[in-house]
Every structure is written in structure tokens, then in C-alpha cells.
Amino acid sequence: MKIQDIINHLTCPTCKSTLSFSEQSLSCQNNHLYPFLNGVAHILPDEFNVQLKSTSDIYGKLWTEDFDDFTNSKPTHWHYHEMQRVLSQKIVQGALGLEIGCGNGFDSHCMAQENPATNIIGIDVSTSIFFAQTYQKKRDNLFFLRASTTSLPFADNTFDFCYSYGVLHHLPNPFVGFEEMKRVLKPGAPFYLYLYEDHQGSVFKYYPLKLISWIRHLSTDLTPSQLKILCTLLSPFIIVSFSWPSKVLNYFNKTKRLASKMPFNFGKGLFSLKGDLYDRFGAPFEYRFSQNQLLNWYEKLSFENHFFTRLEKYAGWVTGAHKKSL
């Protein structure tokens, strides 16, 4: 897709008026100007420099450097497939869908490739969008923008569905993300999310998470480069302490359940956790949710037909609901 194909859906994140396109930039009637940088429209809100820049710096490095072979791998299977596997309803539906916090763009690309009749827009606040954008050239039903979930640059009632994996818990105020999602969804349209869980009911996860939260007080002050070194050194230690023991426990019927409850049970090679650790220790904001808290928000926002399930391999909530129909 080209900017001309979606211009009617775009609004100014600052004053909410419509945007128009001329001379390689977007502007609104109140003269708020949004540039194209390296071919990507940057429609970032005013709060970018106050609260979002550190998130952008951390994830920009994660997705654009050779962390977990992200930059070399081909996007044939990604988080969206893991989500779809545990959901009875089809995620991609209708004419236009939005992925919030698309990172390197793998999921948006897969959704667009497998559903040529649906147009997909992916947004991310970080420079990962430059990497994502390379897929846009290969598909005419895909478009990427640099924008923030805290102030989505889209008109009300625009999308037939919203998808977001591992993003809303990284917002300064996650509830604002839910409000924005509700605003841009069409009445009756669904959203599908993967979110961190607070693990209140599991001593094996709750206390290690407390330790991680404590370490985060220190680690979020590190620069992205320092953090990358720390996580590379920490990965073998976590693999040997948690991942490999859980693999052993998984062999025996009596201890299978215990293995499934151990943290980092998905780790494989010695350095396979460095990207995951970087995410956990570096993201400036990290919230964890109980089912009740999410239900409370769904009620506040009048969402209907909510659901909760889990992924096969990873802890956390796969959840969603529908915007109330008219």
C-alpha cells in the first residue's frame, strides 16, 4: 500500500484533525507537521520525547541489531501463528486490520501474506519500523508507520480487527492503549492481545518475577549497549539454572507439570535467552495483569464477548474482546 491508500484513515495525534499529504510530509489544518524519514511516515505524538523515547531506543536496538538472528531470519512463522493456534476465531478478518507494536514487522507481514484480501497496517514507536518497512515493498496489502499506541493517528471506527503481541504492558499507562484501541475499532470489531500475567497463584513464577522487578530498577538505567552485554552474559546462567533442569523434569510424567511451571522453560542454546532478557530487563515500563484487572477494564470500556486463554509454550494471557456493537 502507499500513503495515498490510507490517507483517509489518518488523523493528527496532537489535535485529531485529518491529515493531508504533500511534498513528502503529512500535515493537518493546525499546521502540525509529520515527516517521512527513510521513506517511513513518522506520526509521533508530542509525548514521544517525554515518555516514549527510552522505549524507542531499547527496542530500536533489539530489532535492528543481530540479536537473535532477527535480522537474518525469514518471516514464515511468528507470534501471530502461536496466537491463532489457541484461538477458535480467525484473527485476520474484514478489509483492514491494525497491528499495534509490530516490532520487526514479522507478524504484519505474515498476516498480509496469508490474507491477501485484507489490508494490514503495522505501527511501532521504535526505529524497528525501518526494518519492518522492507516487507512493505514486497506486498501491496501492507503498510508500516512509526506511531504510538498512546495516541494512534487513526480516525475513530476504522479497523475490522486489532492485534498486538507483547506491547500494551510496555506502555507508560496501559489503560490508555485499551482506550485508543477501542476508539479506532469499528463497532462490533474484535481485538486480540498477548499480555504479561502477574502469576499471583504460582510461587515458582511470582517470586522470581519479584526478583526480576528488583533488578529492573537498576537495569533500566543502563544504556542499550551495556544492557546487551549484560544479557549476553546472563543468558547461559539462566539456561543452566532453569531451562535445562526444566527440560530434564519434562521427561518424567510425575514432574512434567512442575517443568511447565518453571520460569524460562522455553530456553534452548546457551545464548538463546539474550533477546528475551534484554526485553525483560530493558523495557522502561513493564506491567503484569491479573485476569480480574483485565476484566475490570473490559467492563469499564463496555467490551463484549471477552475471552482468556494461554499460549502452548509461553506463560501470559492471550485475551481479547469485541467493541460494543451499535
Ligand X SMILES: C[S@@+](CC[C@H](N)C(=O)[O-])C[C@H]1O[C@@H](n2cnc3c(N)ncnc32)[C@H](O)[C@@H]1O
Footprint on this chain of ligand X (rule: CB under 6 A)? 52, 55, 59, 79, 101-103, 107, 123-126, 128, 148-150, 165-167, 170-171, 279
Q: Choose between 161 and 249: whose C-beta lies nearer to ligand X.
A: 161
CB of 43 or CB of 249, closer to ligand X: 43
Cβ–Cβ < 8 Å for 60, 128: yes
Nearer to ligand X, 249 or 264 (CB): 264
Comparing CB distances to ligand X, the nearer of 125 and 277 is 125
Shortest spacing between CB 85 and ligand X, in angstroms: 15
Taking the complex as a whole, how short is the minimal distance between the CB of residue 277 and ligand X, in angstroms? 12
Q: Which is nearer to ligand X, 245 or 284 (CB)?
A: 284
Do residues 63 and 224 make contact, with C-beta atoms less than 8 angstroms apart?
no
Structural contact between residues 26 and 19, judged by C-beta atoms closer than 8 angstroms: yes
Both ends of the chain: CA-CA distance in Å? Answer: 30
Q: Which residue has the cell 522505549?
A: 55
Q: Where are the alpha helices (DSSP H) in 14-78?
A: 53-64
In terms of CB distance, is 118 or 126 closer to ligand X?
126
CB of 308 to ligand X, least distance (A): 19
- Min dist. Cβ of residue 263 to ligand X (A): 17
Residue 160 or 180 having the CB closest to ligand X: 180
Question: How far apart, in whole angstroms, are the C-alpha atoms of residue 215 and residue 219?
Answer: 6
Min dist CB 228 to ligand X, Å, is 15
Burial of 321 per CB tally in 10 Å (0-12, 13-18, 19+): buried
Q: Where are the alpha helices (DSSP H) in the chain?
A: 3-6, 53-64, 79-85, 106-114, 128-136, 174-184, 203-219, 224-238, 244-249, 256-261, 274-282, 291-300
Looking at beta carbons only, is 24 or 73 nearer to ligand X?
73
Q: What is the largest CA-CA distance in the chain?
A: 66
Smallest gap from Cβ 255 to ligand X, in A, equals: 30
d(CA 106, CA 19) in angstroms, rounded, equals 28
Question: Minimum CB separation from ligand X for residue 84, in Å?
Answer: 13
- Phi/psi region, residue 4 (left: phi>0; alpha: psi -120 to 50; beta: rest), is alpha
For residue 308, list its beta bridge partners.
319
CB 63 within 8 Å of CB 126: yes
Q: Closest approach of Cβ 10 to ligand X, in Å?
A: 16
